[in-house]
């Protein structure tokens, strides 16, 4: 078991084999690695590596589209490293960047049957705002989950 120091950094080409493994194990119903590959040039694509061994254990991809909306496209943690707060660390890292841009709404989609992910996002104050029918390639539907962000009023 590696030491527990987590480092979050930008993606690089040598990371793809490990990302493929995370996608295959974490999203067995989806072609997640195709999605990840198509998003490689995203401005906000980060990996989490654990310990001095620098084992990639998860990643997050998100976009900031306007002052109003950010979209978390994928958050994944290798199944062997789940329940170690890595997903929380990745999400908090992303939300920190998003909040610096004063975005007011963060959205994401989650499979309706993925109870663990739904509870995870609810813990971060994401609310279910509705169903997106036929969202995934296999015809499954998704919940649209949204977190509204508030900022303190600036003093005049």
CATH of the domain at 22: 3.40.630.30
Question: What pLDDT, on a 0 to 100 scale, did the predictor assign at position 38?
Answer: 75
Residue 154 predicted with pLDDT over 60: no
54's CB contacts (< 8 A; 6+ apart) are: 7
HSE-up of 66 (CA within 13 Å, CB side)? 4
In the chain, % of residues over pLDDT 70: 90
Residue 46 predicted with pLDDT over 60: yes
Cα separation, 12 vs 7, in Å, equals 14
Residue 154 lies in a domain: no
Residue 128 lies in a domain: yes
**Domain span including residue 91:** 6-148
Of the pLDDT bands very low, low, confident and very high (cuts 50, 70, 90), residue 66 is confident
Cα separation, 124 vs 88, in Å, equals 9
Contact assessment for residue 29 and residue 142, using Cβ atoms and an 8 Å cutoff: no
Q: Distance between alpha carbon 141 and the CA centroid of its chain, in Å?
A: 18
Residue 1 predicted with pLDDT over 50: no
Question: What pLDDT, on a 0 to 100 scale, did the predictor assign at position 153?
Answer: 62
- The better pLDDT of the pair 141, 30 is held by 141
Residue 153 lies in a domain: no
What is the arithmetic mean of pLDDT over 13-21?
A: 82
Q: Which two tokens stand for residue 96?
A: 């920190």
Residue 1 lies in a domain: no
Contact assessment for residue 109 and residue 143, using Cβ atoms and an 8 Å cutoff: yes
DSSP 8-state code for residue 146: E
Residue 156 lies in a domain: no
- Please tell me the total count of domains within the chain: 1
What is the arithmetic mean of pLDDT over 70-99?
A: 94
pTM (two decimals): 0.87
Residue 51 lies in a domain: yes
């Amino acid at each position: 078991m590696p030491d527990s120091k987590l480092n979050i950094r930008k993606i690089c080409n040598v990371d793809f084999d490990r990302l493929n493994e995370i996608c295959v194990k974490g999203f067995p119903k989806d072609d997640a690695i195709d999605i990840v590959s198509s998003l490689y040039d995203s401005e906000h694509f980060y990996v989490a590596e654990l310990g001095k061994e620098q084992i990639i254990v998860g990643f997050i991809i998100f976009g900031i589209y306007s002052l109003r909306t950010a979209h978390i496209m994928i958050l994944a943690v290798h199944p062997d490293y789940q329940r170690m707060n890595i997903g929380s660390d990745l999400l908090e890292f992303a939300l920190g960047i998003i909040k610096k841009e004063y975005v007011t709404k963060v959205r994401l989609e989650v499979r309706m049957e993925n109870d663990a992910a739904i509870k995870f996002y609810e813990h971060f104050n994401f609310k279910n705002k509705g169903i997106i029918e036929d969202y995934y390639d296999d015809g499954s539907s998704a919940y649209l989950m949204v977190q509204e962000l508030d900022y303190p009023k600036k003093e005049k």
